[in-house]
Each structure stands twice: as structure tokens, then as C-alpha cells.
């Protein structure tokens, strides 16, 4: 009996310590990203660069309720979204977050992000002959309608060569699904985009993942704005090896119980 239990324990140990199979990691799952849907009302811990960005709560003036099939009709998740650029409506805007999840060689990492251009940009229109504020550039009077010409965005997953150094690199990553320089042609309509990369070398293995949301419209000199929202999902279940370990231990207990019953009979 003891030898059989030892054999089962050995099997469980072998299963638990065997090489881990390549996995697909959903970065939308808690707790990879912090403040993914910007419901704190601030960007932190997201970091803004170039022309910056901000957070706001869209209304029916920004999006046509129900036109995009969303349950809320206006915002994909919660009530707040992030926007870039943050001032002047001119040039690119970048948001980045370095997360504690690290790349593992052989694994694939997916991230889904809602992206849209609101009907109007953040800011206040100026009086006659006066330039507006925020992204509402240009001389008043007039509205702050978004501008669609050549408006593009990108969603990227990079790695930090040195943890929390602020630098990014992607030479060790293999792009599975890219979302680079994607053009938005319709105002007030959200769409879901997924980016997917694999760590395929020791260069990225063990390095922190950096998520980047970017407005690529460097040549636009008219008011424009891209909005981003990331919906978090429930955490993934325990790896199969953990369940297998528990199953083997349970099997060992069942075998022992049957043996004792047989002896009593």
C-alpha cells in the first residue's frame, strides 16, 4: 500500500515539476493592469508623453447611444475613458503602463482595447478671433468637432530591458496580431481591437511587459482626439498541473479507503 502511495506521490511531483507548456495569457484578466478602465478618474499609474492625455466621462454629446451596440450605449466599460492627445489637438499622444507581469519565452500575450474618436474633442471653443483651449484649437467662434483626416492609432506590447527603467524594446517579440497605424474613419462609434505578441527569445524572457496606447496622428493640425477603454475580466483559473496534482492526491486517498474497506470485509 505504502509503495503505491509513494508511486502516486511521485507521479504528482513529476506532473507538477515537468516543463510548463506554452500558454496564451490574457492581459485583460485581473490583476495584470492597474486602472485599466480609468475608473479612478485619473491616468495613474499610466504615464503620458509627447502631447499627453487625460481622462473624462463621455456623454451623449460625445457618442451616439446605442449606435455601437454597447449595453451602456456610450462607454464600453464603466463611465470613464482615457484620451490623447491631451493639449492642443495637434500631434501624437502616448499612454504607457509597465506592469508586473513578465514575458515568458514561448508564451503568447493578448490585449483587447476599445478605441474610438468622439464626436467632439475635450476643450472649450474660443470667442470670435480667440483660440480655444485644450484640444479645441483654432479661432472661434465654432464648435469643437473632431477631425478625421489621416487619424490613426496603435496598440503595442513591449518589454522593459531593465525593470522600471522607463525604456521599451520589442526586438525579442514576435507579432501575432498587430494594431499599428489603424485608421479611424467614423466618429462616435467604439470598436474593439486585439493585439497579440509572443516572446520568442531570451531577450524578452523575464522582462516586464509595457502596454502602450498611441495616437499616431503627428501631421494633423486640426482638433482631433482618440479615446481608449480597457475592460478587465475575471482572473484565469489555476494551471492544469495544479488540478492534476490535486486529482492524483485524491486518487491516492480513494485507493487507501478501498483497501481498508476490503480488509474489514
The CATH number that domain 21-238 falls under is 2.60.120.260
> For residue 217, is the peptide bond before it cis, meaning its omega torsion is within 30 degrees of 0?
no
123: how many CB neighbours lie within 10 A of its CB?
Answer: 18
Per domain, the residue ranges of the chain are: 21-238
Q: What are phi and psi of 254, to 5 degrees?
A: -65, -40
Compute the distance between CA of residue 54 and CA of residue 155 in angstroms, rounded to an integer: 17
pLDDT in tens, the chain (265 residues): 555 444 544 544 444 444 557 899 999 998 999 999 999 999 999 999 877 789 999 988 888 887 777 776 799 999 999 998 876 555 678 999 999 899 999 999 999 999 998 888 877 776 666 666 666 666 555 567 777 665 789 999 999 998 888 789 999 999 999 999 898 878 888 999 999 999 999 999 999 999 999 988 765 556 678 999 999 887 655 454 443 334 434 444 444 444 544 454 5
Among 180, 131, 127, 173, residue whose Cα is nearest residue 153: 180
Amino acid at each position: 500500500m505504502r509503495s503505491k502511495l509513494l508511486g502516486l506521490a511521485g507521479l504528482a511531483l513529476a506532473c507538477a515539476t515537468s516543463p510548463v507548456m506554452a500558454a496564451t495569457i490574457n492581459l485583460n484578466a485581473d490583476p495584470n493592469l492597474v486602472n485599466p478602465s480609468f475608473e479612478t478618474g485619473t491616468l495613474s499609474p499610466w504615464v503620458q508623453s509627447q502631447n499627453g492625455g487625460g481622462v473624462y466621462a463621455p456623454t451623449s454629446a460625445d457618442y451616439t447611444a446605442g449606435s455601437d451596440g454597447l449595453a451602456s450605449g456610450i462607454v464600453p466599460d464603466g463611465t470613464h475613458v482615457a484620451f490623447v492627445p491631451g493639449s492642443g489637438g495637434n500631434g501624437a499622444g502616448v499612454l504607457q503602463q509597465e506592469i508586473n507581469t513578465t514575458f515568458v519565452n514561448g508564451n503568447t500575450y493578448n490585449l483587447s482595447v476599445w478605441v474610438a474618436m468622439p464626436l467632439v474633442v475635450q476643450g472649450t471653443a474660443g470667442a470670435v478671433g480667440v483660440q480655444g483651449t485644450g484640444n479645441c484649437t483654432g479661432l472661434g467662434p465654432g464648435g469643437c468637432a473632431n477631425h478625421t483626416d489621416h487619424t490613426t492609432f496603435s496598440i503595442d506590447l513591449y518589454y522593459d530591458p531593465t525593470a522600471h527603467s522607463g525604456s521599451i524594446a520589442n526586438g525579442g517579440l514576435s507579432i501575432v496580431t498587430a494594431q499599428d497605424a489603424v485608421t479611424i474613419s467614423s466618429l462616435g462609434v467604439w470598436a474593439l481591437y486585439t493585439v497579440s505578441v509572443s516572446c520568442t527569445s531570451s531577450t524578452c524572457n523575464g522582462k516586464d511587459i509595457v502596454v502602450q496606447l498611441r495616437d499616431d496622428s503627428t501631421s494633423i493640425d486640426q482638433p482631433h482626439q482618440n479615446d481608449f477603454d480597457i475592460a478587465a475580466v475575471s482572473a484565469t483559473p489555476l494551471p492544469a498541473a495544479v488540478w492534476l496534482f490535486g486529482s492524483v492526491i485524491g486518487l491516492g486517498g480513494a485507493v487507501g479507503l478501498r483497501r481498508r474497506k476490503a480488509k474489514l470485509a
